[in-house]
């Protein structure tokens, strides 16, 4: 019997992988993705001309520490920040760095006002310089031995704020977490839709070509349904892995072809972006210290586990979400005679998925809020929403709850779908409504 499921999986897999459309998608996808990586990096490192940065340093500790380079010139200003902000738009300089005074006199936050979007190099130079300075100050102040230096490694929360004329400020966190979360959530959304509807079309094809009854005289309808879902899911995974590999190959190829151009300061960027976001005024002595240790842990975490955790959870939510929706799509395919008729049932099934992707923007802004919590728990939306939350750090209990509910969700959906499927596939030329589906659920064997 398992032998027959594997035959079905093999057929579903091979017929799809051999299709022209699959091969075209597999080649086009990575080119687009690589472009997505390369073009912004290229643009970020391009800005070849010298940038001038005004520095307002209330602490007086950093202003002289910034070293001028070919690309960056630092210009300390002897005025308060309000005056500097006033003058900045007309100064013709590129950015205004503000390091506020804090109670400890050791700031971990700074603000970079800009006119033109600051380059990665500019941002990492500033934050690295400041971090080094803060660390050496702290080391000196507390006489910490070099062995534990690493454990108190600090990071700087660099806030980039676009300063419009008239003093209007707009925060911009072009953060890796945001991008990572959104990209993986969106990928799950696209994959679930793409491969879910392949399952739907596959079931409808078997119905309209009338081969279904030939096959269910050899295997159980459930075996056929699961074989199809698993086979198509493996096509999805294959496509995904090929995309990742080919994208890396293309990116690596471009990097070797143009060395030096694309050495984006990956780790520093992560450090900057993963900091907690809080205004300098709210940072009390305690939270500052606590933040330091938390930051150090997170920084370590990013270096060691975070990426593998993200990849692992991506695969989990991708598979979970796919299995859940594919089962529902299979049931819809079985209930209708053609794709046009499937719309009335597709609508309620896809609504949660669409809501999830719409809510994504909201969840990014508040990754630990109540909305984010609930949407990342409910199995129909959790594959998308949880992927947005994960790069920001999710409590283990949330993750465990969400994951187990997703497993329960797809088991339930499969059970439900199997009942509709086995009745539906043998019904031809019958307009089916919800009352009819309800009856099918109650049929025996």
Residues that bind other proteins (CB under 8 A): 1, 4, 7-8, 11, 15, 205-206, 209-211, 213-221, 426, 428, 439, 443-445
CB 227 → other proteins: shortest distance, Å? Answer: 10
Nearest CA among 108, 119, 98 for reference residue 155 = 108
How many CB atoms lie under 10 A from the CB of residue 403? 17
CB 443 → other proteins: shortest distance, Å? Answer: 8
CB 190 → other proteins: shortest distance, Å? Answer: 25
Nearest CA among 397, 370, 396, 346 for reference residue 385 = 370
Element housing 51 (H / E): strand 51-57
Can you tell me which residue has the tokens 């959790």? Answer: 382
Residue 82's region, left for phi above 0, alpha for psi from -120 to 50, else beta, is alpha
Can you tell me which residue has the tokens 């998608």? Answer: 25
CB 389 → other proteins: shortest distance, Å? Answer: 41
CB 233 → other proteins: shortest distance, Å? Answer: 20
Whole-number Å distance between alpha carbons of 374 and 357: 14
How many CB atoms lie under 10 A from the CB of residue 230? 18
> How does DSSP assign 254-298, residue by residue?
HHHHSTTTT---HHHHHHHHTS----GGG--HHHHHHHHHHHHHH
CB 441 → other proteins: shortest distance, Å? Answer: 11
Token pair belonging to 285: 């002595």
> Nearer Cβ to other proteins, position 215 or 278?
215
> Nearer Cβ to other proteins, position 79 or 426?
426
Whole-number Å distance between alpha carbons of 402 and 375: 9
b/e per residue, 147-181, with b = 16+ CB within 10 A? Answer: eeeeebbbbbbbbbbebeeeeeeeeeeebbbbebb
> Nearer Cβ to other proteins, position 8 or 319?
8
Per the CB < 8 A criterion, the answer to whether 209 and 408 are in contact is no
Q: Give me the residues paired with residue 172 across strands.
A: 160
> Nearer Cβ to other proteins, position 120 or 437?
437
> Nearer Cβ to other proteins, position 216 or 403?
216
Return the beta strands (E) in 115-189 as ranges: 157-163, 169-172
Which alpha helices (DSSP H) does 340-426 contain, by range? 343-365, 370-375, 382-389, 396-424
CB 211 → other proteins: shortest distance, Å? Answer: 5
> Nearer Cβ to other proteins, position 172 or 430?
430
CB 445 → other proteins: shortest distance, Å? Answer: 3
> Nearer Cβ to other proteins, position 218 or 343?
218
Per the CB < 8 A criterion, the answer to whether 52 and 116 are in contact is no
> Nearer Cβ to other proteins, position 216 or 309?
216
Whole-number Å distance between alpha carbons of 175 and 180: 9
Per the CB < 8 A criterion, the answer to whether 248 and 30 are in contact is no
> Nearer Cβ to other proteins, position 9 or 180?
9
Per-residue CA distances from 169 to 129, 162, 164, 178, 435 (Å) = 25, 6, 6, 20, 56
CB 307 → other proteins: shortest distance, Å? Answer: 40
CB 23 → other proteins: shortest distance, Å? Answer: 16
**238: exposed, middle or buried (C-beta count within 10 Å: 0-12, 13-18, 19+)?**
middle
CB 364 → other proteins: shortest distance, Å? Answer: 42
> Nearer Cβ to other proteins, position 9 or 385?
9
> Nearer Cβ to other proteins, position 135 or 436?
436
């Amino acid at each position: 019997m398992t032998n027959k499921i594997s035959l079905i999986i093999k057929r579903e897999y091979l017929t799809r992988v051999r299709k022209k459309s699959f091969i075209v998608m597999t080649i086009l996808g990575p080119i687009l993705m690589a472009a997505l990586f390369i073009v912004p990096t290229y643009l970020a490192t391009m800005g070849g001309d010298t940038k001038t940065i005004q520095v307002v340093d209330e602490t007086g500790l950093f202003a002289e520490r910034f070293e001028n380079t070919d690309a960056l010139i630092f210009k300390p200003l002897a005025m308060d920040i309000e005056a500097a902000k006033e003058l900045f738009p007309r100064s013709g300089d590129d950015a205004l760095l503000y390091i506020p005074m804090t109670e400890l006199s050791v700031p971990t936050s700074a603000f970079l006002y800009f006119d033109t979007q600051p380059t990665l190099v500019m941002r990492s130079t500033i934050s690295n310089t400041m971090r080094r300075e803060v660390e050496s100050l702290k080391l000196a102040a507390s006489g910490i031995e070099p062995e534990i230096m690493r454990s108190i490694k600090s990071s700087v929360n660099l806030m980039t704020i676009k300063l419009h004329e008239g003093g209007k400020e707009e925060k911009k966190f072009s953060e890796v977490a945001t991008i990572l979360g959104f990209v993986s959530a969106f990928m799950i959304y696209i994959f679930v839709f793409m491969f879910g509807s392949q399952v739907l079309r596959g079931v409808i094809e078997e119905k309209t070509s009338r081969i279904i009854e030939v096959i269910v005289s050899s295997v159980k309808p459930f075996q056929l349904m699961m074989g199809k879902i698993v086979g198509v899911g493996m096509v999805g995974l294959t496509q995904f892995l090929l995309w990742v590999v080919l994208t890396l190959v293309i990116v690596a190829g471009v990097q070797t072809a143009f060395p030096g151009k694309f050495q984006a300061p990956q780790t520093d960027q992560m450090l900057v972006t993963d900091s907690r976001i809080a205004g300098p005024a709210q940072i009390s002595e305690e939270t500052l210290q606590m933040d330091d240790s938390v930051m150090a842990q997170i920084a370590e975490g990013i270096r060691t586990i975070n990426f593998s955790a993200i990849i692992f959870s991506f695969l989990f939510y991708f598979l979970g979400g796919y299995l859940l929706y594919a089962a529902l799509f299979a049931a819809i395919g079985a209930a209708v005679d053609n794709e046009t008729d499937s719309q009335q049932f597709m609508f309620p099934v896809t609504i949660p998925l669409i809501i999830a992707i719409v809510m994504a923007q909201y969840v990014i802004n508040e990754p630990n809020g109540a909305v984010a919590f609930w949407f990342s728990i409910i199995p129909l939306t959790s594959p998308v929403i949880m992927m947005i939350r994960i790069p920001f750090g999710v409590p283990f209990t949330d993750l465990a709850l969400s994951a187990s509910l997703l497993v329960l969700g797809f088991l339930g959906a499969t059970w439900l779908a199997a009942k509709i499927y086995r009745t539906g596939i043998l019904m031809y030329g019958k307009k089916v409504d919800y009352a009819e589906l309800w009856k099918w659920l109650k049929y025996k064997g």
